[in-house]
Chains A and B, each alone.
Chain A
Amino acid sequence: MMISEIPPSLILILGALILPFSKKLRPLFVLGLPILVLMKIWSLNIGDTITMQAFDLNLIPLKVEVTGRLFATIFAVMAFVGGLFALNQKRTEELVAAFIYAGSAIGVTLAGDLVTIFVFWEIMAVASTLVILSSSTKKSRKAAMRYLLVHILGGCVLLSGIAMYAADTGSILFENMTVNSVGTWLMLIGVLINTAAPPLSAWLSDAYPEASFSGTVFLSAFTTKTAVYVLLCGFAGTEILIYVGLYMAFYGIIYALLENDMRRILSYGIVNGVGFMVCGIGIGTEMALNGVVAYAVVHILYKALLLMSAGSVLHMTGKRKCTELGGLFQSMPVTTICAVIGGLSISFPFTAGFISKSMITQAAADGHLSFAWFVLMIASVGVFISIGLKYVWFVFFQEDSGLRPKDPPLNMQIAMILFSAICIGLGIYPELLYNMLPYAVDYEPYSVSHIITMLQLLLFAGLSFFMLLPIMKRMLAMSLDFDWLYRFFIPKMAKPIIEAGDALNIKVRACFMSILGSVIDNTVGYKAGRDSFTWILRTCGSIVWIMVMLVMYLLMCYYA
């Protein structure tokens, strides 16, 4: 393979592996690698493919298409800005893991077959776990374990689905599929687990906030968006996704309202945003899919921006709870402005969120899905309150907490300003984004009625936020979610089951031993010192199982 033929994903992954040896040149590497990858991505033409043969599978590690290239682009941009933001991170392993993570995400978006997707999918799961672990707190270790388990579970289901699909159709080509067989259902479920779909939504808000100040920024971008990409190209138009998406949109809002940890609030925002995308994929019209792609790009931008601002606060204060923060605007002006822009970008006109999210809502309206349209409208207002306003208000304004941290170091400020600029830029010139979308765009976001409707809704929502402020303040509780099942219930339940199994085993053996013992006592008249030789006992006990097996096989053979 020539150097020019190395796929961009591998450049980033291999580059990341050299990173620990770069020493003083580290900043150069961290910033240079993503740029190199970006150049590589754009040097690829639509339709370029690399094929290779691995055992008896025809793999297509590289297949460039419009959507995939756009996703790869935004991932590379994200790696660049994330790297810039993380330059102060002392732990090199976090950046290595993050770049491998980003590289494999790019790998998924440029993959042409399901097995390649799965391979990168698994690397992503492992690398992202390492990102969480790099914050090296006890909490992060536990959270990372839960995160890894959920993702390996997702990977298992996905792999089962792919294997079955391959066995059914004899093809591992990645293309749009109809969900009509067990294999495709399993694949769909496997991918949905990565989008934080119900009932396993909790992994996201459980794990992401435990990463370091810079780690969370990386995490927010890749896992869920690659899953969105796979859904988009593989399962567009699957009706059930509409409802899954709507549920997620609301799930995010409600749990965010109850939350106190600033980065957890933003994490719920990710679930909400991905819900919009999943819903759009379910609608499946050209307009909806365009909207999904546009919103995925924009969501990466503003969510990373918000998490960078939260990361800056965490980095400068070491505090993460809304109740412990407040009044930071006085000493952190740049961060505050960037956070405000990030918050507005969720759905305010003249920001990137407005021009993209509204396409999905419009698609719902065009498809006469009035229920979906109604819910999406409410959700886009709700999320503005429960995430945008709540986060910005409680962290940067509210009553003064007395903290006077400075703005973060220059590189972190530049990273935030860069994304703020893009958020505003795309809001004002939506054509820049629209031209890159997979289908021709026939949509004008800035009609007078649209702007006025949205402004009215948002202003009213803002008003209600401040009226409800006294209630919101008191939310310090831990909220109950599905993860209770695997964090507390199953471990609690598993113990008695294992113990019962043990007890049964011991009982069976003891029963056998007492028979054997009495036989020996009666026939030989020799009383063995059984208590002092428990290990002999155990050996004899194992013989029981041999007898059981022999009898079983003999019966089976005799009565066959």
Chain B
Amino acid sequence: MLLSHLPALQVVLPLIAAPICLVLHHARLAWAWAMLISWSAFGIALSLLNRVLSEGVISYHIGKWAPPWGIEYRLDEASVFMLVLVTTIGVVVTTFAKESVEKEIVKEKIHLFYTCYLLCFAGLLGMSITGDVFNIFVFLEISSLSAYALISMSDDRRALTASFRYLVMGTVGATFYIIGVGLIYMATGSLNIADLAVKLPAVADTQTVRAALAFLIVGLSLKLALFPLHSWLPNAYAYAPSAVSAFIAATATKVAVYVMLRVIFTIFGVSYVFGTMNLGPAILSLAIMGMFAASAMAISQKNVKRLLAYSSIAQIGYIMLGISFATVTGLSGGIVHLFNHALIKCCLFMVMGCVFFRINSTDIKDMAGLGKRMPFTMAAFVIGGLSLIGVPSTVGFISKWYLMQAAFEAGSWVIAIMIPLSSLLAVVYIWRVVEVAYFSPSPDGETAIKEAPVSMQIPIWVMVAGIFYFGINAEFTLDVARRAAESLLGGIVL
């Protein structure tokens, strides 16, 4: 009985847990509650993954209203992949958050923090699971609004302006999205994704639908921070509390990418977007510009969190590059990189959380000699960095290899070479941090700095283990990604 309602529980559980968390009104209790919820959500996601992989697509009708009139939760390989990703990151970051949040946020606000955190979590899960475009908008707003609040909770006053900017830009993005949804609703009278896929071709050649596509793509490009619509991201990531940076960097933009995939491949269909409309070259060139420009900007950053934020924009470029090929290899390369990059960035932002925990700064210059004083933390940074560069036996290599294969398949070796070339820039910005941390002497007279607490170390090393495990044994991720790509390209499998 309960099992058949798991898709609803996946979202409803954290959604209901959030107000309860508000009522708990106690810092430790709120954390324990968030921990319980994220583990349960993780468990649900795993069991859903299992079911989808063995039984195929699950369609769940909310309140037994049959689609296309009722809201449908629809789970295929792609969406269940996102659920697993978001809940995994959720579990890891919640574990990490305990000490980190206690340090960075005033005690009276901690329960508010976890309330927003659970809301954001619920929103992201909802976006991944729902099969209804308007419902996606609702969850998009839930996750975004709570994310603005989470970012503004930081001690750093710059977080307020960063959060405000994110709010303005994010709202523009969401508005564009809803305008797009409105337009296709106008043309088809439907909001259900599967239904839209059937009805759109008949009206595809109208100005309304064309405008809808443009609005949806721009709106989502903003949400996923595709160059040059990335400007909200660096400050938001840099000044947010560490746990928030780790969580949002690994999930928010990734879920937006997922929605983009849904819009392009499921709703409009690959032949419409890449064939009739021929948007491939535009997305491709923006992706490549992003890869290089954002990496170049990362090099000149003074704050490591900002540096990582720019690197995230560059990595989004890789993901979109894979998608822009619109082939099974390209798409699965993009999806694999989406997963891999989530692991890497979550790990690196948590490392910076540990650094901030001990030295109260994430500026490069303050990290002198940290390699000796926080050996485990910095070792994790080096591993994450190597993976970002794409060194073999880490996940970064798998992504790059597949993206390159996709480029060759598309017959473009120039693009294929750009992939490793832009990783040269990653060498430079990772190096700048490593050089200071390992090869600059620690400032004199500094009180002894200890390694970060174990409860913060464990989640980091779980991610590091993931970086290696999925870098060596990539069968699981590649398999799921390939199946997700095939189902996306094949349209809706009824």
Contact = CB atoms under 8 A, between A and B. Distances in A.
Contacts of B428: 149
B420 interface: yes
A224 B420 CA distance: 22
Nearest to B475: A55
Contact of B427 (A54, A152, A558, A560): A152
A542 B421 CA distance: 28
A55 B210 contact: no
B119 to A, nearest CB: 24
Interface in B454-494: 472-475, 478
Interface in B276-305: 276-279, 282, 293, 296, 300
B417 interface: yes
A535 interface: yes
A545 B435 contact: no
A557 interface: yes
A556 to B, nearest CB: 6
Contacts of A164: 408, 413, 416
Contacts of A541: 231
A371 interface: no
A548 B228 CA distance: 10
A136 interface: yes
Contacts of B393: 119
Contacts of B473: 54
B413 A546 contact: no
Interface string A117-145: 01100110010000001001000010001
Interface string B393-435: 1000010110011001100010011011101100110010001
Of B165, B221, B293, B420, which is in contact with the most chain A CB atoms at under 10 Å from its CB? B420
Given A122-B392, A535-B165, A539-B168, A556 B416 contact: no
Interface stretch (B27-35, B59-67, B186-194, B211-219): B211-219
A546 B217 CA distance: 11
Interface residues of A, number: 50
Nearest to A159: B420
B169 interface: yes
A155 interface: yes
Contacts of A159: 400-401, 404, 420
A535 to B, nearest CB: 5
Nearest to B409: A167
B309 to A, nearest CB: 15
Given A148-B427, A553-B282, A160 B214 contact: no
A153 B418 CA distance: 11
Interface in A436-455: none
A497 B85 CA distance: 39
Of B165, B398, B474, which is in contact with the most chain A CB atoms at under 10 Å from its CB? B165
State the main secondary structure of chain A at its contact with B: helix
Contacts of A148: 427, 431
Given A156-B421, A164-B416, A141 B427 contact: no
A539 B169 contact: yes
B50 interface: no
A556 B164 contact: no
B168 A553 contact: no
B69 interface: no
B377 to A, nearest CB: 18
A153 B276 CA distance: 38
A165 B165 CA distance: 47
Interface in A296-348: none
A554 B398 contact: no
B209 to A, nearest CB: 9
Given A156-B421, A539-B165, A556-B277, A163 B439 contact: no
A542 B231 contact: yes
Contacts of B300: 498
Given A152-B427, A553-B279, A160 B420 contact: yes
A163 B401 CA distance: 7
A556 B416 CA distance: 26
A240 interface: no
A375 interface: no
Contacts of B400: 159
Contacts of B409: 167
B222 interface: yes
B232 interface: yes
Contacts of B277: 556-557, 560
State the main secondary structure of chain B at its contact with A: helix
B207 A539 contact: no
Contact of B214 (A539, A543, A556): A556
Nearest to B411: A167
Contacts of A538: 165, 231
Contacts of A183: 413
Contacts of A122: 391-392
B417 A157 contact: yes
Contacts of A152: 389, 423-424, 427
Contacts of B83: none
A459 interface: no
Given A552-B282, A560-B277, A167 B417 contact: no
Given A159-B420, A546-B172, A182 B391 contact: no
Nearest to A167: B408
Given A119-B393, A560-B278, A163 B169 contact: no
Nearest to A129: B431
Interface in A505-560: 535, 538-539, 541-543, 545-546, 548-550, 552-554, 556-558, 560
Contact of A560 (B218, B228, B276): B276
A374 B425 CA distance: 44
Nearest to B161: A535
A53 B420 CA distance: 24
A167 B424 contact: no
A542 B408 contact: no
B176 interface: yes
B1 to A, nearest CB: 40
A141 B439 contact: yes
A56 B215 CA distance: 39
A558 B212 CA distance: 11
B413 to A, nearest CB: 6
B299 to A, nearest CB: 10
A550 B218 contact: yes
Contacts of B391: 122, 126
Nearest to A539: B165
A198 to B, nearest CB: 20
B229 interface: yes
A556 B282 contact: yes
Contacts of A186: 413, 417
Nearest to A505: B228
Interface in B190-246: 207, 210-211, 213-215, 217-218, 221-222, 228-229, 231-232
A145 B431 contact: yes
A118 B392 contact: yes
A149 B164 contact: no
Given A545-B229, A560-B278, A54 B420 contact: no
A557 B165 CA distance: 29
Contacts of A123: 392
A119 B392 contact: yes
A557 B218 CA distance: 12
Given A550-B215, A552-B282, A553-B218, 14 more contacts: A54-B473, A54-B474, A153-B424, A156-B421, A168-B408, A182-B413, A535-B164, A546-B176, A549-B221, A549-B229, A553-B213, A554-B210, A558-B210, A560-B210
Closest 7 CB pairs of A and B: A156-B420, A167-B408, A553-B214, A557-B210, A542-B231, A119-B392, A163-B404
14 contacts: A115-B392, A133-B439, A152-B423, A156-B420, A157-B420, A498-B296, A539-B165, A543-B169, A553-B282, A554-B214, A556-B282, A557-B214, A557-B279, A560-B276
Interface of A: 54-56, 115, 118-119, 122-123, 126, 133, 136, 141, 145, 148-149, 152-153, 155-157, 159-160, 163-164, 166-168, 182-183, 186, 498, 501, 535, 538-539, 541-543, 545-546, 548-550, 552-554, 556-558, 560
